[in-house]
């Protein structure tokens, strides 16, 4: 496997996972990974979840303590990082800055999960709009949210086209070209501010035949001069750790990428494929 670090994964510290951290670490060791970074969910001010999950709270003290114990146990075997996947809403930039000052994160993913008080995961998001309107609104909101956040407070943009996992036709009628007017400003912004674009292999897991974002977005990102990429499986269960990483590496190399980025104490390091 050419990719030895999984930099987007969840444990039972996230509301949508029941997997103890120990199980994830054991799986990473079995796969021969050199490093992993837990990126637990925090979506402050998320609307009530129809399934009853609470994404608005993360027990940071216990989370950091548990990871510290695992780092001691696996010293010299695997690098274990403490990260966070922070859900963007326009008014939450100050909250993220405060958390950065309080806790010693290794890595922070900024992700768009909610639009107009709804998660596209649920069909209700599309109940009063066409698929195209829903996708346009998602990308427009994602860009507007990015403008509100201090670029020093995060490291990568997570699963940029997350919405296509759940659209009525998913990615059958979706392409970079169809939404380039909304996508290009996001890519320009990341490049101008030295931020990474995440390749999230969850798209493969969800049967899209593409990562999130899709291959043509990475092609365009590279054309524009983008070079900084992080890679994560978005695993919530051990069997999805490092999911299709060989496929992801082959795609990135075909597009001209030679390195991916891993973070420790918020400092990026380039790793060759």
Cα 192 to Cα 108, 120, 139, 184, 248: the distances in Å are: 18, 28, 18, 12, 25
Contact 89, 44 (CB under 8 A): yes
pLDDT of residue 49: 82
Beta partners for 40?
A: 84
Mean residue pLDDT of the chain comes to: 97
Q: What are the pLDDT digits (tens) for 201-232? A: 999 999 999 999 999 999 999 999 999 999 99
* Statement: the pTM of the whole predicted model exceeds 0.85: yes
The CA distance from 93 to 56, in Å, is 15
pLDDT of residue 233: 98
Which segment of 12-16, 40-44, 50-54, 93-97 scores lowest on mean pLDDT?
Answer: 50-54
Alpha-helix residue ranges (DSSP H) falling in the chain: 21-31, 60-73, 93-102, 131-148, 180-192, 202-205, 215-223, 245-254
Torsion-angle region of residue 46: left (phi > 0), alpha (psi -120 to 50) or beta? beta
Given a cut of 90, whether residue 1 has pLDDT beyond it is no
Q: Dig out the tokens for 100 from the structure.
A: 């950065």
């Amino acid at each position: 496997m050419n990719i030895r670090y999984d930099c987007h994964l969840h444990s039972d510290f996230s509301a949508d996972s029941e997997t103890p951290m120990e199980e994830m670490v054991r799986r990473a060791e079995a796969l021969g990974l050199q490093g992993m970074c837990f990126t637990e969910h925090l979506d402050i001010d998320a609307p009530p979840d129809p399934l009853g999950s609470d994404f608005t709270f993360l027990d940071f003290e216990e989370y950091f303590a548990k990871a510290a114990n695992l780092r001691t146990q696996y010293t010299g075997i695997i690098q274990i990082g403490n990260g966070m996947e922070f859900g963007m809403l326009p008014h939450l930039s100050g909250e993220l800055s405060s958390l950065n000052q309080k806790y010693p994160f290794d890595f922070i993913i900024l992700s768009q999960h909610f639009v107009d008080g709804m998660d596209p995961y649920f069909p209700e998001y599309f109940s009063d709009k066409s698929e195209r309107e829903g996708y346009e609104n998602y990308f427009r909101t994602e860009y507007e949210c990015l403008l509100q956040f201090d670029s020093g407070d995060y490291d990568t943009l997570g699963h940029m086209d997350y919405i296509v996992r759940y659209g009525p036709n998913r990615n059958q009628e979706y392409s970079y070209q169809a939404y380039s007017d909304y996508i290009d400003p996001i890519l320009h912004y990341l490049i101008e501010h030295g931020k990474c674009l995440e390749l999230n292999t969850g798209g493969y897991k969800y049967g899209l035949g593409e990562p999130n974002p899709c291959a043509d977005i990475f092609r365009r990102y590279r054309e524009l001069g983008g070079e900084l990429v992080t890679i994560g499986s978005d695993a919530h269960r051990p069997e999805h750790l490092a999911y299709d990483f060989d496929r992801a590496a082959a795609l990135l190399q075909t597009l001209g990428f030679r390195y991916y980025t891993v973070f420790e104490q918020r400092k990026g390091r380039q790793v060759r494929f």
